[in-house]
A = this chain, B = another copy of it.
Amino acid sequence: MAAYWVMTFVGNPRITVRLWDGNEFYFADGTPVGLMEFHDRRALLNLALSQSVGFGDGYSNGRIEIHGDILEFLREIARAISSRPNQNYYASKFLSMLRAIRGNTLSRSKNNVHHHYDLGNDFYEMWLDERMVYTCAYYEDANVALAEAQVAKLDHVCRKLELQPGQDVIEAGCGWGALAMHMAEHYGVNVKAYNNSHEQVSLAREKAAARGLTGRVEFVEDDYRTISDKCDVFVSVGMLEHVGLKNFHALGKVIDSCLKPTGRGLIHSIGRSHPKPTDAWISKRIFPGGHIPSLGEMSAVFEPHKFSILDVENLRLHYAKTCAEWLENFDAVSEKVSAMYSEDFVRAWRLYLAGSSTAFESGTLQLYQIVFAPHGSNNVPWTRKFLYSPESAEG
């Protein structure tokens, strides 16, 4: 029977299943932590055929209902899945490569970015922090608020890069420009920031003008593959996830051709502990064209050009907290979002934000900040103590 098969496949989570006829089933041991209701047979069959898309679409269109806290529910699913006997590493690596082979051409990248980021600035403004930073925050301690933690993240990145006044910085994938503007305003650098999203670049330009930064921050509406200037610093926060495995070599080549021999680079990206294809529903509905790489896969960006990796920091628990705060903000405005788009849209985004939070919490997803330098550059810090010394705060 389909319900039993589905629950067994995900490792028998402590979740009660309620069917359209009111019958309830529970296949696990212990107390249930949630209830999943199927409003019709088709929702259950879709889930059996394709766990990820079947669940994602079923939850979005309301044919599947989660009773109780969605974070608790997803945590329990993550726990059950991870307690299944180990899947084969090489099969997973192979699948990851197969999925990743579909490369992002320039026009396809533009479409993929459009899909997610051109939903409307108004939409993101409603639930992001006031700077509109749509990447993992850095909570210096766990009690800090989201907005403060986003500023701390910007500073953490700037300090890792040891920005010096007057330096030329290239940023690839700049969102609404928060990091670009922060670097120019607080560290005195000149920034050229690239982004494929027309909506984002327009708002970023407005924001920079309002802050009097027009001459020091240039926003370029174009793909990272068109970058050609020389720079002292290359930084990219939250873009690598969208680049696609096949283009890692091209990204490395771009960095290699623009970064000066004594320069510094930083890539901040969602990652995995091992190669694995992107979740099918996320790939279909939320982030088409992306690939979440393992550190080993990321080495395709750095090793062909002999970049020296200086520092890797894993901030996955910070991203779990960031996503949980976004979900809270999102829930507070969900009626407005529903009026702008639809109830299905609201439910899809709830699932995406809650699912991301639990994926970071369970270790399904990681968050890596990677600092690197050109081969042979000795313009590198002696230790990392300066990152944590009060006197080296904000330049």
Distance from A175 Cβ to chain B, minimum over Cβ atoms (Å): 23
CA of A306 to CA of B304, assembled, Å: 25
Render A307-330 as a binary contact track against B, CB cut-off 8 A, 1 for contact.
111111110110000000000000
| In the complex, A19 has a CB within 8 A of chain B | no
A window 119-159: CB within 8 A of B: 138-142
| Residue among B296, B299, B311, B314 making CB contact with A308, cutoff 8 Å | B314
| In the complex, A99 has a CB within 8 A of chain B | no
CA of A304 to CA of B299, assembled, Å: 16
B384 and A388 form a contact (CB under 8 A): yes
- Number of A residues whose C-beta is below 8 Å from B? 49
A385 and B388 form a contact (CB under 8 A): yes
Distance from A80 Cβ to chain B, minimum over Cβ atoms (Å): 12
A303 and B317 form a contact (CB under 8 A): no
A window 338-384: CB within 8 A of B: 361-363, 366, 368, 375-378, 380, 382-384
CA of A16 to CA of B307, assembled, Å: 32
A378 and B317 form a contact (CB under 8 A): yes
A317 and B274 form a contact (CB under 8 A): no
Closest to A90 in B: B304
A314 and B311 form a contact (CB under 8 A): yes
Chain A interface mostly = mixed
Distance from A274 Cβ to chain B, minimum over Cβ atoms (Å): 4
| In the complex, A389 has a CB within 8 A of chain B | yes
Interfacial chain B residues near A61, Cβ < 8 Å: none
Distance from A310 Cβ to chain B, minimum over Cβ atoms (Å): 5
| In the complex, A51 has a CB within 8 A of chain B | no
| Residue among B305, B308, B317 making CB contact with A363, cutoff 8 Å | B308
Assuming the contacts A299-B295, A382-B139, asked whether A273 and B308 have C-beta atoms less than 8 A apart, the reply is: yes
A376 and B388 form a contact (CB under 8 A): no
Interfacial chain B residues near A383, Cβ < 8 Å: 138, 140-141
CA of A141 to CA of B383, assembled, Å: 8
B313 and A311 form a contact (CB under 8 A): yes
CA of A316 to CA of B310, assembled, Å: 9
What are 21 A-B contacts with C-beta separation under 8 Å?
A89-B303, A138-B383, A140-B383, A140-B385, A141-B383, A142-B382, A273-B307, A273-B309, A273-B375, A274-B303, A274-B306, A294-B299, A294-B303, A299-B299, A308-B316, A308-B363, A309-B314, A309-B366, A310-B314, A363-B376, A387-B388
